[in-house]
Chain A
Amino acid sequence: MNPYLPKPAVIKEIHREVEGERAIKTFRIRPIDGNFDFTPGQTAMVSVFGKGESMFAISAYPDIEFTVMRVGRVTSALHQMKKGDTVGIRGPLGNGFPVKEWEGKNILLIGGGVGMAPLRSVLHYILDNRDKYGGLTVMCGARTSKDIIYRDELEKLMDGEDVWLSVDNEEEGWFKLNWDKPEESQIPDGTRKLVGFVPMVVAAVKPSPENCIAVTCGPPVMIKFVVQNLLKLGFKEEQIYTTLENKMKCGIGKCGRCNIGSVYVCKDGPVFRYDFIKKLPPDF
């Protein structure tokens, strides 16, 4: 088995998540040989032949989907592709979330921007195995309501689960949190759409740490303050998981660029528990 060799896969569906300069699309793909078993939170290299390959979180379960922002050479080429086109897929790579260990627990998913992508694979997995888990809370924020990925899906989910959406700037119909003391915000009953940065949403909604696993993904500065606020609510470091990202090429712990200390994010990660992350050298 050559670990560098992608296998051909066909784009089955393309969903536009966000329009504009930094457009985001979700691609559903299927390897031609049909084989691709993965755990939520794992990643894969997607090839556009002749352009290169890039690492993405798998953003669904059990379907294979990638939510891709158009920023570089490979992602721009991907955004030009159509349903039925062929790409390459290499993986799954990395460790994934320990979803089996979490059975019986309450799950709190906190995503910011395109960082919601890896969390959606956990979300799908839990919804598929709903009876094995306790309460489910989802908090998903973005700059504006147009930037919220999977918005339709999350709004539908509000009927049955505890789902919170948030935006950074004021918008009509969205409840503004107390900017100075978010923990003192009086959120009206039934309101699920908030104005405030994601860490403020955590402080305002006050999820209980009791028998709970919190998983957060998003920009580094968001993660930092989300974790601070979770710790303030009484979450222990061992209850908090996140994913790290770095520039990657090989995806198998050899090419040397994604290391943080002796850890390779591509192979040993991207999922890490917060107490482990704290022990890494501050090199990310």
Chain B
Amino acid sequence: MEFLCSEEDIVNWLASKLEEYAVYIPSEYGFERASSSDELKLNFPLPAISIKSLFFPHSDVLMRFRGKEIVEALPDEEKKIVLTKACDANSLKVLDAVFLSEPVDPYYERRRKNTVIVTVECEQMCYGGFCKDIGIEPEGDVVIRRRGKSYCVEVRNSELLPEFEKFEACDEGAEETAKGTKENLLNIEWLEDAFESEVWDEVSRFCISCGVCTYLCPTCHCFDITDSGRVRIRTWDSCQFPYFTMHTSGYNPRPEKKHRLRNRIYHKFSYFPQRYGIVACVGCGRCVRMCPSRIDIRELVLRRD
């Protein structure tokens, strides 16, 4: 069901939730918890730190050791409403596939389960972004699209329908033209026969192995587990670091930058689809914008005419 609302209507709806829910809204840096209705708006930026940090934080205490006792440290459950853009909303499908498949990751599951995703569609792609080029459509419990000076609010989670029934229904015909169709430019078939290609040498030549692409990526989910004193923690890790795969013996199956960059591309566009049926990239463009060496993933996975 779709409803025609003003920005004020939507902000008022979110404001009415502030007591029951933690409402998160993106800032330039990351997702911030809103403390009052003044902070709620629909034209928020795509934050540098992606939505994954809300469910899979950069560091997380897994357990504590007290003598011979092992004490589980699960996070508190929190009812969340998260305002986001289509790319980050889609990245949750990838993270869910990893962390909610058997055996379920209880740390992620606790943070994820009582979450309402409110996605505001972008009118155009951001610099470096390629979401629409690879067919990323808005996902979420509520999807909001601009319609002139108002917004069309598509309520996909039926539990939320009663809260919007007071609004006028959106005219569906106009909706179709607004969405339009765009050719999917994803070009990944060539990977089937490119494992030994020289392209990996060429593309990785100027990589400085900083890991920014992976830390900022909303779908990258590799992690490390380490003991720090009497606490076992999980931290984000990066497949772009040489130590990531190095055996204790010193042997390293991915010793060179080209092997590591190749693995990142294959993981997203070949291995992940084989395992979970979806591509592990949402076209947010963070890696394109933020790479200090200007390595551009679009040159590897998009059709260029």
Contact = CB atoms under 8 A, between A and B. Distances in A.
A254 B65 contact: no
Given A50-B227, A257-B237, A7 B248 contact: no
A6 B267 contact: no
* Chief secondary structure at chain A's binding surface: loop
Contacts of A152: none
Contact of A4 (B63, B65, B253): B63
Contacts of B63: 4-5
Interface string B55-80: 00000001101001110101000000
Interface string A246-284: 110110101111111110000000000000000001111
A269 to B, nearest CB: 14
Interface stretch (B166-174, B239-247, B288-296): B239-247
B105 A249 contact: no
Contacts of B105: 3-4, 254
B259 interface: yes
- Residue among B98, B226, B253, B275 with max Cβ neighbours from chain A (10 Å): B253
Interface in B239-268: 239, 244-249, 251, 253-254, 259, 263, 266-267
A115 interface: no
Q: How large is the interface on A (under 10, 10 to 19, 20 to 34, 35 or more residues)?
A: 35 or more
Given A3-B105, A257-B239, A283-B254, A51 B245 contact: no
Interface string A1-30: 111111110000000000000000000000
Q: Is the interface of B mostly helix, strand, loop or mixed?
A: mixed
A156 B41 CA distance: 77
Given A256-B267, A259-B271, A261-B271, A52 B259 contact: no
A4 B73 CA distance: 11
Contact of A262 (B104, B195, B271): B271
A86 interface: yes
A44 to B, nearest CB: 14
A40 interface: no
A179 interface: no
A36 interface: no
B248 A4 contact: no
Given A2-B106, A3-B103, A262-B274, A245 B68 contact: no
A167 B136 CA distance: 59
Contacts of B65: 49-50
Nearest to A283: B253
A142 to B, nearest CB: 16
Given A4-B63, A262-B270, A249 B224 contact: yes
B126 interface: no
Contact of B225 (A220, A246, A249, A262): A249
A2 B74 contact: yes
B21 interface: no
A52 B227 contact: yes
A53 interface: yes
A145 interface: no
Given A256-B221, A257-B237, A282-B195, A1 B103 contact: yes
13 contacts: A5-B72, A49-B65, A72-B248, A247-B245, A247-B248, A255-B224, A256-B237, A260-B253, A261-B270, A262-B271, A262-B272, A281-B195, A282-B195
Interface of B: 62-63, 65, 68-70, 72, 74, 98-99, 103-107, 195, 221-227, 229-230, 232, 234, 237, 239, 244-249, 251, 253-254, 259, 263, 266-267, 270-272, 274-275
Given A4-B63, A249-B224, A255-B225, 4 more contacts: A4-B225, A53-B227, A54-B248, A247-B247
